[in-house]
C-alpha cells in the first residue's frame, strides 16, 4: 500500500495551517471536527475561516511563515499556491519529523486527507493515495448512502455497554458473538428507528439473559417493489442482507431475491390465481414459528405490502403472537409501472386524482363501485385485473364511461420483459386477445394514457 491508514487523536492538539483561502477553509472544517486547535499563518484570511478559528479556540498569525512557528505542533498543513513556500514548509517538517500535508501535491506529503464517512465513533477514511481524489469522493458518496447515519448512535450505545460486556464475558469469542448478535438484531433495528431508550432496555435484557434463554426474533415486512432491483429502498436492502429466513411471493423478481443474504433460508409462499403454493393462514403461522425460533425473518412482497398485499392480515397474527415486527414500504406497481410506461398518474390538464382498485374479485363476483369510477379528471389503476378485463371494461361502459376513454395494460412493468398495450375501452379486449400480454400486469384507465407515446422512455413494445 502507498500509505498506512493511521487515525490521529487531535483533540486539544495544536497544528499549523499555512494559507487562509478557500482551500485552507476546507481543511480547517475537517480538522476542527476532530477537536484540533489551529494556528493559521496568512496575511489575509477568508471571513468564514476567521469565524471558525474564533469558535474553536484557534489563532490567526498575520505574518510570513517561518520555521520557528513549527515548534509545539503535531502536524502541518500547507494550503498555498506558492510552490517555493510549499517546498520550504515540507523541508522544514521533514527535518523535524513532523507530519506534513501540502494540498494537491502528493510528493510533498507525508500524510494525506482521506475522503471521510463520519458516523462517530465509527469513522471510515478512503484514499486513492493522492492519485484519483475524485474517485475516492465518489466511493465515499456510495458509502454514505449504504451506511445509515444512526450507526453513530449504535456505536455510542456500544461504547456505554462495553465495560459491562467485558465483565459479563471473559472470553473474547463470547464477546464477539454477543456484539455480532447485537449489531445485526433487534437492538440495532431499534436504534435505526430512533428508539434509543427501547434499544438500551433490550440490550440490557440481552446482557442479563446472555445465552441462558432463547430470544424471540423479529419479522420485517418488506416491499420488494415491482421487479427492478434498483427500486428497492436502502432499508429494504439492509434487512434483506441480514435476514436468517426469507418468505417471498411470486411477484418478487429473481434479481431482487439475489440481493438477499446468501445463506438465508428461502421459503417460497407465492400465490397464483387458483393455485396458492402456501395458503395465507399457513404463511401467517410460518412467520410466527420462524420468529419464535429466534430468527430474523423477512417477509418479502412484490410492490408495497400494504397495497393489496395482505400485509395487514399478517401483522395482526404477529401482534397476537407477541412477535415484534417492522414494515418497510415498497414502490407499488401503480407508481413504478406507470412511470416506466411513460404514463403520469396525475397531470394538470388530464387528471387531478388517482384511484387504485383490486381486480381480484372475491368469490368471482363484482364488488366494484363503478359509479365512482366514471367521473372525469381521474386515473383508475386496476391491480390483478387482467383475468377480469372484460368485466372491468363492461362495468365502466355500462355505468357511462365514454367509449373513447383511453386504457393501457402494462405487463411485467419495470423489468426487461415489460410490454405496454394501449387502446380504448371499445377495442382493448380485441387487442389483448391478439397480444396475450401475461400477468402480472396493471391496467390504467384515463386521459393520461394519451401521453404515453410521447413520454415513454423505458424499453417497451406494443
- Please answer whether residues 175 and 169 qualify as being in contact, where contact means their C-beta atoms are separated by less than 8 angstroms: yes
Q: Which of 414, 31, 20 is nearest to 230 (CA)?
A: 414
Q: Beta strands 115-119 and 122-126: pairing type?
A: antiparallel
Give the 3-state secondary structure of residue 362.
Answer: helix
Cα–Cα distance for residue pair 433/123, rounded to 1 Å: 59
Q: Identify the H or E element spanning 291.
A: helix 280-292
> What is the grid cell recorded at 297?
425473518
118 is in an annotated binding site: no
Q: Which three cell numbers stand for residue 214?
A: 432463547
Q: The dihedral of CA 348, 350, 353, 358: what is its sign? A: negative
Would the annotation count 302 as a binding residue? yes
Active-site residue flag, 271: yes
| 303 is an annotated ligand-binding site residue | yes
**Count of Cβ atoms closer than 10 Å to residue 67 Cβ:** 13
> Is 278 part of any known ligand binding site?
no
| Alpha-helical segments (H) within 322-451 | 333-341, 389-398, 428-435
What are the grid coordinates assigned to 325, written together? Answer: 415486527
**What is the distance between the alpha carbons of residues 153 and 175, in angstroms, rounded to a whole number?**
20
Structure-block grid coordinates of residue 121: 465513533
Fill in the DSSP letter of residue 251: T
Can you read off the three cell numbers belonging to residue 93?
A: 517538517
Please check if 420 is assigned to a binding site: no
CA torsion sign for 62, 66, 67, 68 is: negative
| Pairing outcome for strands 265-268 and 245-248 | parallel
Cell digits for 405? 376513454
CA dist., res. 119 & res. 123, Å (int): 6
Binding site annotation covers 258?
no
282 is in an annotated binding site: no
The answer to whether 297 is annotated as binding is: no
- 74 is known to lie in a ligand binding site: no
Has 447 been labeled as part of a binding site? no
Helix axes 389-398, 428-435, angle to 10 degrees: 170
Nearby residues of 225 by Cβ (< 8 Å), 6 or more positions away: 231, 232, 256, 302, 303, 330, 331, 336, 414
Q: Is 427 annotated among the ligand-binding residues?
A: no
The b-or-e profile of 394-412 (16+ CB within 10 A means b, else e) is ebbbeeebeeebbbbbbbb
Q: Report residue 323 as a C-alpha cell.
A: 412477535
333 is in an annotated binding site: yes
227 is in an annotated binding site: no
Q: Which of 50, 118, 235, 271 is catalytic?
A: 271
249 catalytic? Reply is yes
Q: Which of the following is catalytic: 249, 301, 355, 401?
A: 249
Residue tagged 440490557 (cell numbers): 204
Binding residues for S-adenosyl-L-methionine: 226, 302-304, 307, 332-333, 384, 413
Binding residues for NAD(+): 22-23, 43-44
Binding residues: 22-23, 43-44, 226, 302-304, 307, 332-333, 384, 413
Q: Which residues are catalytic?
A: 249, 271
Amino acid at each position: 500500500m502507498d500509505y498506512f491508514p493511521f487515525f490521529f487523536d487531535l483533540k486539544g492538539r495544536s497544528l499549523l495551517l499555512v494559507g487562509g483561502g478557500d482551500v485552507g477553509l476546507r481543511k480547517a472544517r475537517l480538522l476542527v471536527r476532530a477537536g484540533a486547535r489551529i494556528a493559521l499563518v496568512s496575511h489575509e484570511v477568508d471571513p468564514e475561516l476567521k469565524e471558525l478559528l474564533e469558535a474553536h479556540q484557534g489563532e490567526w498569525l498575520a505574518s510570513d511563515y517561518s520555521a520557528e512557528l513549527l515548534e509545539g505542533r503535531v502536524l502541518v498543513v500547507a494550503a498555498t499556491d506558492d510552490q517555493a513556500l510549499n517546498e520550504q514548509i515540507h523541508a522544514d517538517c521533514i527535518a523535524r519529523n513532523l507530519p506534513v500535508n501540502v494540498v494537491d501535491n502528493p510528493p510533498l506529503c507525508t500524510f494525506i486527507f482521506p475522503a471521510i464517512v463520519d458516523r462517530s465513533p465509527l469513522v471510515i477514511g478512503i484514499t486513492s493515495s493522492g492519485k484519483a481524489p475524485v474517485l475516492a469522493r465518489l466511493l465515499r458518496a456510495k458509502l454514505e448512502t449504504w451506511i445509515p447515519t444512526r450507526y453513530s448512535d449504535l456505536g455510542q450505545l456500544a461504547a456505554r455497554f462495553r465495560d459491562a460486556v467485558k465483565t459479563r464475558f471473559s472470553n473474547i469469542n463470547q464477546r464477539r458473538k454477543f456484539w455480532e448478535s447485537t449489531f445485526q438484531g433487534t437492538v440495532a433495528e431499534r436504534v435505526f428507528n430512533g428508539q434509543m431508550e427501547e434499544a438500551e432496555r433490550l440490550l440490557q435484557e440481552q446482557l442479563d439473559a446472555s445465552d441462558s434463554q432463547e430470544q424471540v426474533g423479529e419479522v420485517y415486512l418488506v416491499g420488494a417493489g415491482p421487479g427492478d432491483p434498483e427500486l428497492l429502498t436502502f432499508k429494504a436492502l439492509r434487512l434483506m442482507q441480514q435476514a436468517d429466513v426469507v418468505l417471498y411471493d411470486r411477484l418478487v423478481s429473481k434479481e431482487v431475491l439475489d440481493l438477499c443474504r446468501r445463506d438465508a433460508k428461502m421459503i417460497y409462499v407465492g400465490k397464483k390465481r387458483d393455485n396458492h403454493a402456501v395458503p395465507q393462514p399457513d404463511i401467517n403461522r410460518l412467520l410466527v414459528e420462524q420468529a419464535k425460533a429466534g430468527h430474523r425473518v423477512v417477509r418479502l412482497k412484490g410492490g408495497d405490502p400494504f397495497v393489496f398485499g395482505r400485509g395487514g392480515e399478517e401483522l395482526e397474527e404477529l401482534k397476537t403472537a407477541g412477535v415484534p415486527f417492522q414494515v418497510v414500504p415498497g414502490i407499488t406497481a401503480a407508481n413504478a409501472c406507470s412511470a416506466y410506461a411513460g404514463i403520469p398518474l396525475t397531470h394538470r390538464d388530464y387528471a387531478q386524482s388517482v384511484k387504485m382498485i383490486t381486480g381480484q374479485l372475491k368469490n368471482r363476483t363484482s364488488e366494484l363501485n363503478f359509479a365512482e369510477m366514471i367521473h372525469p379528471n381521474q386515473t383508475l389503476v386496476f391491480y390483478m385485473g387482467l383475468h377480469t378485463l372484460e368485466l372491468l371494461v363492461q362495468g365502466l361502459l355500462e355505468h357511462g364511461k365514454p367509449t373513447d376513454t383511453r386504457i393501457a395494460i402494462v405487463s411485467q412493468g419495470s423489468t426487461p420483459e415489460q410490454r405496454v398495450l394501449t387502446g380504448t375501452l371499445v377495442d382493448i379486449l380485441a387487442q389483448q386477445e391478439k397480444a396475450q400480454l401475461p400477468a402480472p400486469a396493471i391496467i390504467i384507465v384515463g386521459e393520461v394514457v394519451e401521453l404515453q407515446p410521447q413520454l415513454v422512455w423505458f424499453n417497451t413494445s406494443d
